[in-house]
Structure 1
Amino acid sequence: MESRKFFTLVLAIAIAGMSQGLTLPLLSIMIETAGYSSTLNGWNAAALYIGMFFASFFVEKPLRRFGYKKMLLFGVIVVFIASAMIPFWEHLWWWFMLRFMIGVGDSALHYTSQLWITSSSPAHLRGRSISIYGLAYGSGFMIGPFGVNLSFINEYLPFIVVCALYFISFLFVIRLENEFPAQVEQRSRVGSYRTAFAIGWFALIPAFMYGYLEAVLNGSFPIYALRTGIGAEWVPIILFSFAAGGIITQLPLGMLSDRIGRKKVLMGAALIGSLAFLAVPLMDGQVSGILILAILAGSVVGSFFSLGLAFLADTLPGRLLPTGNALAAILFSIGSIIGPSVTGTGIEHIHPNSLFYSLSLVFIVYFLLGLRPSKSSGSYKQPLKGCEP
């Protein structure tokens, strides 16, 4: 892949990660301090992912028609406009609508950049390339929560910074040459989705899991922290610790998966991550222990989405890769919608610790699914050694 194009895609996704890392916890804290219930807060956080889910059904066809560059520009412009409008009216439904718009723009950004990278990278470098992509997103996501502190200076400042960064992204993207994904014959969309899922289901599930995880940590964890007495000032630090763990191991895990296979790495990460989340309630609100577990969990599951995409590119034939990436975006959105809603209700009606029990359950179920023999062993495409699902 051309270095300038790769740099631009990495920059765009780092800015998207920073934007999400800032706006998710900031709005959750704003809604919580305004006196709304954690259930309503969770549903409002889910608006971002409802927008991503909605857009996931429509991004594939415009991408094939207009190309990668124009879809990236569309995503950048939509998120820029919505982010700029957030602070002008403090109302739950206003924020819901704008979060929905950001989700639509983010869906275009993520889907386009992911597909452009995975389809342009040679198979033996795919794990490294998508790990750098994940590293960029994780770095932005790690830095983003610290922008919450900018609101103490001026309530508009965090959103001004986000918009400035998207403007920089726009200036880089507009200089790219437009390219198009491989064109295929017209076929039933439902049939394509069914075929892609039948072949790559184990590679697609990490998208759902990572969506669930990301939305819970950024949408529901701030509520957990406030309810358990941890304090809002620790929220960005703990989220930073989780993201830092993912950044440290993102590239090594990607390179390891190139050598021993994606499935082995994903299963091992799921098992360790499940145990780390299960241990958080045992800390009984001790911040030092939670920080250590956040770093551990982040170091193993912070690469889940990018590893799943690399696994998917190994498994699916080229003609189904755009469809597979669209499915991954849909599953990511479903997990992101379900996560804050389930955990917000659990915090409200069961116990705050139910948040981490649900995360532990999601990852241990994936590990157990991986122990079952699979029937979708790359019938259409020869995978890398050790990558058969």
Structure 2
Amino acid sequence: MAVLTRSKFTVLVSIVFISGFTQGMLLPLIAILLEQAGTSATLNGLNAIALYLGIMFVAPFVEKPLQTYGYKKIIVTGLILVTLSLFLFPWYKAFWFWFALRMIVGVGDHMLHFSTQVWVTSKSPEEKRGRNIAIYGIAFGAGFGVGPLMTRFASWNESLPFIISGAFCLLSLFIMTCIKNELPDTGTPTEAGMNVFTRYLEVLKIAWVALLPAFGYGFLESFLNGSFPVFALRQGIAVEWVSILLPSFIMGSLIFQLPLGIWSDRFGRRKVLLICLVIGFMAFASTLLANKHMLIYLVLFFIAGMFIGSLFSLGMMYLSDLLPPYLLPVGNILAGIAFSAGSMSGPLIGGTFIATFDAGAFVYAICGMLAVLFIVTWLHKGDSAPKPLKN
């Protein structure tokens, strides 16, 4: 099996950074522009889920083209869809037109993320797989964190952020021309001949437990960004502190993602995942004792980010260890679906908990989800063997 070269890995990481940058820019930018146009909060929220609808729409259909045309062509197709959408946003400002464009962005983003994830997970050496996936996650997270800064350019010209982001995507397309295409491993002729339904069932049978972190991370991300600000304001936490607490969680995840990846290579994914779930549970549960001491909140959010801000990456590492190479594309599809399901359920469950439990809603929702993930993962005995570290 061909091994992922350093130069090719660098190209894939740069593309993932630009994709994260685009997603991170679109979420707040479009919300702000729709709000300024007088769009209701309900419709604004509906527009935001268009990205995830696009992901879920394309997810079942992307595996076969990947096997036929290879990683590079699927990534390039996804980049073209995203680039064209970005340049079309300023052309016509209307709710349903932007809804459709965000769905197309979701389709394109999933195509390039799906292809790059499978490429990295299947072609990385086993002893460096955790490290590589962690770097991949850091690149996306860093781009996602930088993207919202582009909203400032909208005060000069509403079209400018879209044009800048589109230009970065064009740069990604140029970079992709520098690397050689590869085809994914389809297994033996018998394995390659399995129908789609059979492959999905096989993945769920072997590695269903590794899909739970993707769901959990989607839930966590959407809940923190969508429901936590509402909870915080109702509890008297100042907007200024809300704008600091959420970035502190992201900063913790970016700083600690690589060490977690390396440790999972050394000690096994399941062990590291269980430890992260316990510490994350304790950090969020401790906020009940923080009262209104915002510095304590800040430290606890940072610690939580350090250990559970990498749930998706750890899940992908675990998944790639449990599955044979020919099932990795289907595994990545199901991980994307699990993430999207978690992302859409987070605000719904979060809103219900806030209405029901008031002061403890934020903690009960997140800690309840983390507790379920821990119990299920702990009861499931399948594990990846620790890999010896190599220089």
Question: TM-score over 0.5 for the alignment?
Answer: yes
Q: Give the conservation status (yes or no) of the 8 Å contact 2:114–2:333.
A: yes
Could you tell me which residue of structure 2 aligns to residue 331 of structure 1?
Answer: 338
Indicate yes or no: 2:11 matched with 1:4. Answer: no
Q: How far apart, CA to CA, are the structure 1 residues paired with 2:350 and 2:39? A: 15
Q: How far apart, CA to CA, are the structure 2 residues paired with 1:283 and 1:41? A: 33
1:242-253 equivalences under 5 Å are: 242-253=249-260
Residues 311-320 or 342-351, more deviating: 342-351
CA shift, 1:348, in A, is 7.0
CA shift, 1:233, in A, is 6.1
CA shift, 1:260, in A, is 1.1
Amino acid at match of 2:338: L
Return the TM-score normalized by structure 2.
0.87
Q: How far apart, CA to CA, are the structure 2 residues paired with 1:360 and 1:197? A: 25
1:127-138 equivalences under 5 Å are: 127-138=130-141
Indicate yes or no: 2:73 matched with 1:70. Answer: yes
Alpha carbons of 1:236 and 1:163: their partners in 2 closer, same or farther (altered >3 Å)?
Answer: farther
1:240-389 equivalences under 5 Å are: 240-280=247-287, 288-344=295-351, 351=358, 354-374=361-381, 377=382, 383-385=384-386
Alpha carbons of 1:251 and 1:126: their partners in 2 closer, same or farther (altered >3 Å)?
Answer: same
* Number of residue pairs aligned between Structure 1 and Structure 2: 381
Per-residue Cα deviation, 1:86-123 (whole angstroms, up to 9, x for no partner): 34555443332222111111111111001001111111
Per-residue Cα deviation, 1:10-68 (whole angstroms, up to 9, x for no partner): 00111111222222233344455666665544433222111111111111111111111
Amino acid at match of 2:264: S
1:1-389 equivalences under 5 Å are: 1-31=4-34, 39-184=42-187, 185-221=192-228, 237-280=244-287, 288-344=295-351, 351=358, 354-374=361-381, 377=382, 383-385=384-386
Q: How far apart, CA to CA, are the structure 1 residues paired with 2:85 and 2:5? A: 31
SS at match of 1:76: helix
Q: How far apart, CA to CA, are the structure 2 residues paired with 1:38 and 1:282? A: 32
CA shift, 1:137, in A, is 1.1
Amino acid at match of 1:310: M
Q: Give the conservation status (yes or no) of the 8 Å contact 1:272–1:300.
A: yes
SS at match of 1:175: coil
**Percent identical residues:** 44
Residues 309-318 or 270-279, more deviating: 270-279
SS at match of 2:49: helix
Q: How far apart, CA to CA, are the structure 2 residues paired with 1:131 and 1:187? A: 31
Per-residue Cα deviation, 1:133-164 (whole angstroms, up to 9, x for no partner): 11111211222233333333433332222212
Compute the RMSD of aligned alpha carbons. 2.8
CA shift, 1:319, in A, is 1.8
Structure exhibiting the larger radius of gyration computed from Cα positions: 2
Q: How far apart, CA to CA, are the structure 2 residues paired with 1:228 and 1:72? A: 44
Return the TM-score normalized by structure 1.
0.87
CA shift, 1:241, in A, is 1.9
Q: Give the conservation status (yes or no) of the 8 Å contact 1:25–1:219.
A: no
Q: Give the conservation status (yes or no) of the 8 Å contact 1:134–1:250.
A: yes
CA shift, 1:346, in A, is 5.3
CA shift, 1:79, in A, is 1.4
Q: Give the conservation status (yes or no) of the 8 Å contact 1:39–1:344.
A: no
Per-residue Cα deviation, 1:337-387 (whole angstroms, up to 9, x for no partner): 22234335655787586355322221121011123144xx37xxxx4239x
